[in-house]
Chain A
Amino acid sequence: QVQLVQSGAQMKKPGASVKVSCKASGHTSINQYIHWVRQAPGQGLEWVGAIDPSGAMTVYTQKFQGRVTMTRDTSTSTSYMELRSLMSDDTAVYYCAATGDNVGAAIGYYYAMDVWGPGTTVTVS
């Protein structure tokens, strides 16, 4: 089973950028998409986007288009999410989550996130 370790909490000023890392250890899979989901204080879950196993393809929710970049270093099994032009509304816990082999990969379904990181708190103030 894969485990995800995320970078530590960060505090940023409005207008700045933040980059959060997510390192996978254990059994990594060729089918392993990495998703990023955020949760503002006291609020629900919001999907930010995802990156494919090779790092060549990304998909972002329209709300973050132009402001977010997801990358992946396959040599170190580390994924990154950079969010630019931060606003106070971006204050949230940012989770990375991975898809596994047994939750839809066989039919090309890569949205089921069966391993989650502990979350990284980003505060914009």
Chain B
Amino acid sequence: DIVMTQSPLSLSVTPGESASISCRSSQSPLQSNGYNYLDWYQQKPGQSPKLLIYLGSNRASGVPDRFSGSGSGTDFTLKISRVEAEDVGVYYCMQEGTFGQGTKLEIK
């Protein structure tokens, strides 16, 4: 079974600064077609999750370019540039149906 490990599990960021969330998989999400089958989701308090990044680095429709995904092998990163108050929530990586534990983002 795939195991997804996120770090940190929580972080507090000053508005305007950047935040990075790491996701490590027990199995590489790289497929023979050259794509990484790994996505990132954001869940704001009291809301349904929202797709941010798919296939490792592609922003979903309507997602601000402050959000970016990168990585290779078994290590992937979600970076949020110029953090805003509205970014508060929990962020999850997911590989083919297996979610990470989630990382809670708070604003200082």
> Which A residues are closer than 8 A to B by beta carbons?
35, 37, 44-47, 49-50, 59, 61-62, 95, 97, 102-104, 107-109, 111-114, 116-119
Complex formed: what's the CA distance from A61 to B41 in Å?
19
B65 within 8 A of A: no
CB distance from A108 to the nearest CB of B (A): 8
Is A45 within 8 A of B92, CB to CB?
yes
Number of CB contacts from chain A to chain B under 8 A: 69
Structural contact, A114 and B61, CB atoms closer than 8 A: yes
Assembly CA distance A53 to B98 (angstroms): 21
Given A62-B1, A116-B48, CB of A111 within 8 Å of CB of B92: no
Q: From B33, B51, B58, B102, name the one whose CB has the most chain A CB atoms within 10 angstroms.
A: B51
Chain B residues with CB under 8 A of A118: 48
Q: Are A45 and B39 in contact (CB under 8 A)?
A: no
Report A-chain residues with C-beta under 8 Å of the C-beta of B61.
102, 114
- Taking a contact as CB atoms under 8 Å apart, the answer to whether B102 and A45 are in contact is yes
Q: How far is the CA of A70 from the CA of B39 in the complex (A)?
A: 23
Give the residue of A35, A44, A49, A61 whose beta carbon is less than 8 angstroms from that of B92: A44
Size range of the chain B interface in the assembly: 20 to 34
Question: Closest chain B residue to A95 by CB distance?
Answer: B48
Would you call A116 and B54 a contact (CB within 8 A)? no
Per-position 1/0 for B57-70, Cβ under 8 A of A: 01011000000000
A88 CA / B33 CA spacing, docked (Å): 42
State A61–B55 Cα separation when bound (angstroms). Answer: 21
Instruction: Determine the distance from Cα of A43 to Cα of B91 in the docked complex, in whole angstroms.
Output: 13
Kindly provide the distance from the CB of B2 to the nearest chain A CB, expressed in whole angstroms. Answer: 11
Complex Cα gap A61–B1 (Å):
10
A117 and B97 within 8 A (CB): no
Q: A46-B99, A47-B94, A47-B99 are in contact. Are A114 and B51 (CB under 8 A)?
A: yes
Please state if A47 and B97 are interface contacts (CB–CB under 8 Å). yes
